Amino acid sequence: MNNLINISNDLFVNTYTRHPAVMVEGEGCRLKDAKGNEYLDFVAGIATCSLGHCHPVVTDAICSQAKKLVHTSNLFHSLPQIELAGMLVDHSFADKIFMANSGAEANEAAIKLARKHGGTGCFEIITLEGSFHGRTLATVAATGQRKFHRGFEPLPVGFYHAPFGDLAALEKLITNKTCAIMVEPLQGEGGVRPLEKEYLQGIRTLCDKHSILLILDEIQVGMSRTGTLFAHEQYNIRPDILTCAKALGNGMPIGALLTTNKVAASFQPGDHASTFGGNPVACAAAVAVLKTMTSNGFLEGVVQRGHHLHDCLKSIADQYNRICRGVRGRGLIQGLVLDDSIADRGGEIVSTLFKAGVLVTLAGGKVLRCTPPLIVSMEEIDAMAAVLEEVISNI
């Protein structure tokens, strides 16, 4: 396997820090590498394989669509697209859908739609410090973390970042050029930071007061991750635009923009497009995902297991409070916050866990983020927590 890893390192542009494993198989919450090592996967392709690896219903949907029709472009309608768009509308605030291939592309579409809706001269978008919205130039500019900007300036203009949690500071950034505020209901990459209910409701109120759009980026936390199909349902608010991706296709590349009739009317034929967006195979996978996630008892299971994951992490945080600051998250996105004194050892902890067969990610520099498949069992959560406790106890 080392040979394969060397070949891979030689072949690729050096943009990723990867674990030394060539993953070859997955089933449920387990991954297997080319050496035969097994891993308990609390990454799930970064909150993407939410029904677990190779979920049979999704795999069947992919295979059967691949035998019928793989691609047509958006010059034509396609059956899986129509079915998926109908389901997204039925299960959300939205009237209209635009389909993309990824989260960043869904956000690009949202940014363009908000600017078009704002009209000439009304192009500014406010996001939050600590946010993450993607890796294209516009979504990098939208992202409220300097480290993602460095080396890529000049960035597209018109993006402003408000301090997290400060509604008054956010309002001060609104001008007559502002067309939208874009936020994640829970910042994933920013370190598993949920927005308080009153805060997000306050942002909605600000948008109404200043007649600007609220864009919710639910790319990481939508699709049942927090215990409701969309995270904002827990806030009793509605966005004007919502973006989702990641878990929508359970690993097939797909993103979607959801919006209202009123906002959608700002886009006319030719304003935006994507060759692969809404690809029939990806849509067939997403239909299977949505059917499974909206079936009886699915979300209740996510909530229950989310509580259990939270409790397991909390008990580790309490026991090792010298090095753990606490636990935060919702549903099955939970983060163990490391104390500043060992924050620089986060990467080492993630590597040690990897060697012990447990996969987690580091978010916001010092948060061990757990995003297991939503079908994770209580026993798998216990098994992960036992390994994590062992690793933390040795720090």
Q: Rounded to an integer, what distance in angstroms lies between the CA atom of residue 370 and that of residue 238?
A: 27
Question: Of the ranges 15-23, 26-34, 129-137, 149-157, which one interacts with ligand PLP (CB under 6 A)?
Answer: 129-137
- Is 220 among the residues that bind ligand PLP (CB under 6 A)? yes
Q: Is the CA virtual torsion 371, 372, 373, 374 positive or negative?
A: negative
Shortest distance in whole angstroms from residue 147 CB to ligand PLP: 14
In the shown chain, the binding pattern of residues 14 to 53 toward ligand PLP, with x for contact by CB under 6 A and - for none, equals --------------------------------x-------
Shortest distance in whole angstroms from residue 155 CB to ligand PLP: 16
At 108, is the secondary structure helix, strand, or coil? helix
- Is 132 among the residues that bind ligand PLP (CB under 6 A)? yes
Q: Rounded to an integer, what distance in angstroms lies between the CA atom of residue 243 and that of residue 373?
A: 20
Shortest distance in whole angstroms from residue 100 CB to ligand PLP: 9
Name the residue nearer to ligand PLP (CB basis): 192 or 317.
192
Question: Of the ranges 62-70, 127-135, 152-160, 267-275, which one interacts with ligand PLP (CB under 6 A)?
Answer: 127-135
- Is 217 among the residues that bind ligand PLP (CB under 6 A)? yes
- Is 219 among the residues that bind ligand PLP (CB under 6 A)? yes
Residue with tokens 């958006």: 74
Which contiguous run of DSSP H or E holds residue 337? strand 333-338
Q: What tokens were used for 188?
A: 């994933």
Name the residue nearer to ligand PLP (CB basis): 136 or 201.
136
Q: Taking CB under 6 A as the criterion, which residues in 230-289 touch ligand PLP?
A: 245
Q: Partners of 104 in the beta sheet? A: none
* Nearest residue to ligand PLP, by Cβ distance, number only: 103
Terminal CA-CA length for the chain: 29
Q: What pairing do the DSSP bridges indicate for beta strands 30-33 and 38-41?
A: antiparallel
Q: How many residues bind ligand PLP (CB under 6 A)?
A: 15
Q: Is the CA virtual torsion 301, 302, 306, 307 positive or negative?
A: negative
- Out of 41, 108, 124, 189, the residue judged to bind ligand PLP by CB under 6 A: 189
Short-list 388, 367, 235, CA closest to 313: 388
Short-list 239, 228, 230, 176, CA closest to 204: 239
- Is 102 among the residues that bind ligand PLP (CB under 6 A)? yes
- Out of 104, 313, 327, 360, the residue judged to bind ligand PLP by CB under 6 A: 104
Name the residue nearer to ligand PLP (CB basis): 123 or 132.
132
Shortest distance in whole angstroms from residue 267 CB to ligand PLP: 20
Question: Of the ranges 130-138, 166-174, 207-215, 370-378, which one interacts with ligand PLP (CB under 6 A)?
Answer: 130-138
Residue with tokens 């606490």: 326
DSSP string, 74-108: TTS--HHHHHHHHHHHHTSS-SEEEEESSHHHHHH
Q: Taking CB under 6 A as the criterion, which residues in 159-188 touch ligand PLP?
A: 184, 188
Name the residue nearer to ligand PLP (CB basis): 124 or 184.
184
Q: Rounded to an integer, what distance in angstroms lies between the CA atom of residue 357 and that of residue 343?
A: 22
Residue type for position 261 = N
Name the residue nearer to ligand PLP (CB basis): 85 or 254.
254
Short-list 21, 39, 22, CA closest to 30: 39
Name the residue nearer to ligand PLP (CB basis): 140 or 302.
140
DSSP for residue 163:
P
At 361, is the secondary structure helix, strand, or coil? strand
- Is 134 among the residues that bind ligand PLP (CB under 6 A)? yes
Quickly count helices (H) and strands (E) in the chain.
13, 17
Name the residue nearer to ligand PLP (CB basis): 324 or 367.
367
Residue type for position 144 = G
Residues engaged in binding ligand PLP (CB under 6 A)? 46, 102-104, 107, 132-134, 184, 188-189, 217, 219-220, 245
